[in-house]
Amino acid sequence: MKYGPCMRRKNLAGKQVLFTLTLIAIFILQSVSVNAESNNLQDNNNFNENRVLSFEKPTLYMFGEQTTGPVNEWKTWNHANNLDESASDNSFFENAWEPGGQNNGGGAREFTFKGCVDSSCNPNNESIPLIEGEFVTGSLLLNIGCNSGNCRTDVSISLSMNGRDLQSIYMESGNGQGNEDRYEFVFDQAKFTDNLIPAGAEFDIRVSFQKPGGFGDFYELYLQDEFTITFPMMPEVVYPIPETDFEPVDGNWKSPYATSGSGFTSKNVQTNSIVMPIMMFVLITAGIITFSIFSPPLNWAKIPAVLLIIFSLVIPVLVAPIITYVEVNKYQNTDTDPGLYSVPDLIGMQTQTGSFIGDLVAEDNFLLWVDNSYIYTNSVKNSTDEFQNIFALGFENYEDTIENEIESSKHGRMILQFYFSVLEIDPSEVSGILINITLVNDTTTNQIVPAFATQSNGNKVFISEGNPRWVVPQDSITLVGEKLSWRLYPLLGLLPAVGLLSYAIYAEMKGIGPEDEEYEEYLDLE
């Protein structure tokens, strides 16, 4: 049977459609498979934040899993918790000779304990300050059993960060006091920029030694608590603010003043924009001009009246908002003034020895600029057990920075809430505020704090039980972007404009009056 061109084209089209549908089906199946695999990985990675280096956990512990396979295939890892949920052995043990063993004989042994295993933890998510002048230290327990009488006991150990060796140490033998199998070492040449473990740092520890090969020889490398690396982390400044104030709500960080049940109510805040004033002025001006064109013709007073109306509206509707916008906008770029900090500038600093935060120390004076787009108010108890009306800064316009643990530090987020989030006065009528801060050493607590937050002179309130905040007093606050007090004065120009229009209308009606009377007399004669 022969098919015509039309039938062949139909068959070809059908095959193309079938091929396309097949590709789509394969793509969908592949996507489902990838997603399932990804979800399975996420479910199985057993992430544990307790394994991450932090102020509370300055020590890395070595773990490993010995198998019957080649030595270079044994799993090794480290993390900052001496308890491990993985199948870690307590030690690595090898005899020189073992029937059927793949690793018989002596020779070099090298194990690299890499940061975490199976994505069970992540690198530290924020910079961690180190105590200046102190070093990374560690120890390991290695028992080299030498019955043959010809064994090496030298050990080399290296510390690397993000794949780069910081320092390698060679030890001829054990040096632990009272224990010749314990090797203690100090990485005194391992340098960290600005004495900080950077955010995202991941450490590998590499140890190498010689396995003895004589009859009856063996080695045992102990793990976990017997093989550790400790960093000289600076003690964290602890603030009495619950961690829940920084936990995300519905996937995003929200101000503790905005959460349900906080007792705070939001206030409308003056916006800082020139788009609406420009649009409003253009629309009003266009409306006035259009009305003047299509309105009945009047005498000479019409044009100056219209111009006077427009010029009377220029300042309150357009010029005044622009002046306010420029005043506020000059504080947005803090790079031009070394004494001016923004919220992102402040919370991006790290803890340092002998400082408030970053390089800010006692007797320093600086200004903190806050774009107060979110204001909340409440009456709460203060340190004298009296109720006080306060105004809280929500900082929700800085949400992306606050919830980003790379761009902000835990210390910075804490001091922002603790010292600078509660005001004595209402700032809702302005677009931003400047907080004038002088740092002092509070001898009562031996801490560097703002002058208004000392134990002797400061005013502290409690947004909830056990959750305090220092109140920024009125004399430390400068309101920026307040509506100009004289902005409405130019509207007085509307009075002569109305007078001119009234005169024009009066004169026009007076001029029309005699013609109407003549027209009425003409009608009467008829």
DSSP-derived letter for residue 360 is B
Characterize the bridge pairing of strands 75-79 and 107-115: parallel
Give CA separation, 57 vs 45, 49, 166, in Å. 21, 11, 21
Give Cβ neighbours of residue 412 (< 8 Å, ≥ 6 apart): 346, 347, 348, 349, 350, 357
- 173-179: Cβ within 8 A, 24+ apart: 174/142, 176/139, 179/141
Domain boundaries, the chain: 49-230, 243-266+329-480, 275-327+490-525
Q: What angle do CA 444, 446, 449 make, to 5 degrees?
A: 90
Domain 49-230 top-level CATH class = mainly beta
Reduce the DSSP state of residue 272 to 3 states and report it.
coil
Question: Which residue type is seen at 142?
Answer: L
Nearest CA to 140 out of 71, 83, 91 is that of: 91
pTM reported for the whole predicted model? 0.58
Q: Which single residue is written with the structure tokens 């004289």?
A: 486
Question: Which residue type is seen at 194?
Answer: D
Q: Which single residue is written with the structure tokens 């409003």?
A: 280
Gap between the Cα atoms of 431 and 324, Å rounded: 9
Gap between the Cα atoms of 45 and 526, Å rounded: 107
- CB of 317 closer than 8 Å to CB of 277: yes
- CB of 468 closer than 8 Å to CB of 390: no
**pLDDT tens digit at each of 526 positions of the chain:** 444 444 444 444 444 444 444 434 434 444 444 344 334 333 334 556 667 888 888 999 999 999 988 998 999 999 988 887 667 899 999 998 887 676 788 889 999 999 876 666 666 667 788 888 899 999 999 999 998 888 999 999 999 998 899 999 999 999 988 888 999 999 999 999 878 888 788 899 999 999 998 888 999 999 999 999 999 988 777 788 887 888 777 778 889 998 888 899 998 877 766 677 778 777 777 877 776 676 667 666 667 777 777 777 776 766 666 666 667 677 777 777 889 999 999 998 887 777 899 889 999 999 999 988 889 999 999 888 899 999 999 998 898 888 887 788 888 999 999 999 999 999 888 888 999 999 999 888 888 999 999 988 899 999 988 899 999 999 999 988 776 666 666 667 677 767 776 767 777 677 655 455 554 554 455 5
Note the residue count of the chain: 526
Residue by residue, DSSP assigns 434-456 as: EEEEEEEEETTTTEEEEGGG-TT
Characterize the bridge pairing of strands 248-249 and 252-253: antiparallel
Give CA separation, 224 vs 140, 150, 161, in Å. 9, 29, 20
Q: Which single residue is written with the structure tokens 């000479």?
A: 300
Q: Which single residue is written with the structure tokens 């996937």?
A: 251
pLDDT at residue 273, as a whole number: 67
- CB of 77 closer than 8 Å to CB of 113: yes
- CB of 462 closer than 8 Å to CB of 263: no
Summarize pLDDT for 307-317 with one digit per residue, the tens: 777 777 776 76
Summarize pLDDT for 314-363 with one digit per residue, the tens: 767 666 666 666 676 777 777 778 899 999 999 988 877 778 998 899 99
Characterize the bridge pairing of strands 155-161 and 203-211: antiparallel
